[in-house]
Amino acid sequence: MRRKKNSKQPTAEIISVGNELLIGHTLDTNSNWIAKQLNRVGWNLQRVTQLRDSPDAIISGIRESLRRRPLVLITLGGLGPTHDDMTLAGVAKALRRPMQLNREALQLVEEHYRRLESKPKLTKYRTKMATLPRGAAPMPNPVGTAPGVMLKQSGTTMFSLPGVPSEMKAIFRTSIISYLKSFSVKGPRELQLKIAGIIESALAPVLDEARRDFPGLYFKS
């Protein structure tokens, strides 16, 4: 059942988790890519937050975002099997929900390893990727191991995606984009003008006049 489209832009926020982002080792290309996808289907991305691999940082970041009541909150990174993959545990604590082994997620993880090993063992590191906050639903990962995760909290739909770009994009395309389109209005139309021979300070009053004449448009120089 498709939702009735609204003339008001639906709102979204992104939280990227990873020490590598905050020490300058890795550029957050995931948020950039998702921002483009949201814009194309008419969503208003209001905020992008980067957090360390820290339970306290994740808990406070999730709660702060939920207080702003975005329609969608997307977290990126921290879904893997290692000690520093703690996003879902942070989400669970932020929402005051217990972590539980999810049978559907476990099946997805097991199916992935069956393609790699004849008799895969479900070690504690592998079952960690199938342990989700209570009430969450897994989303298949077409190109990797850790499933994506969807859950709802007080009017906000939360999506948690792996930090590996190819995995993030695959899950987004197969499980999320259609959901976003069911809410969204038409994507914005854009016009780019290249102006030569004039300095920006001389162009500023022209832009001010255009903003007054067309208050519903966004101008950027």
Show the domains of the chain with their CATH numbers: 11-183 (3.40.980.10)
**Confidence (pTM):** 0.84
Q: Which of 80, 82, 26, 70 is nearest to 50 (CA)?
A: 26
The predicted-structure confidence for 72-108, as pLDDT tens digits, reads as follows 999 999 999 999 999 999 999 999 999 999 999 999 9
How far apart are the C-alpha atoms of 46 and 183, rounded to whole Å? 16
How far apart are the C-alpha atoms of 158 and 136, rounded to whole Å? 9
The whole-number pLDDT of residue 191 equals 65
The predicted-structure confidence for 93-147, as pLDDT tens digits, reads as follows 999 999 999 999 999 999 999 998 888 899 999 999 999 999 999 999 999 999 9
pLDDT-derived band of residue 215, with 50, 70 and 90 as boundaries? confident
Residues 6+ away with beta carbon under 8 Å from 93: 55, 59
Residues 6+ away with beta carbon under 8 Å from 64: none
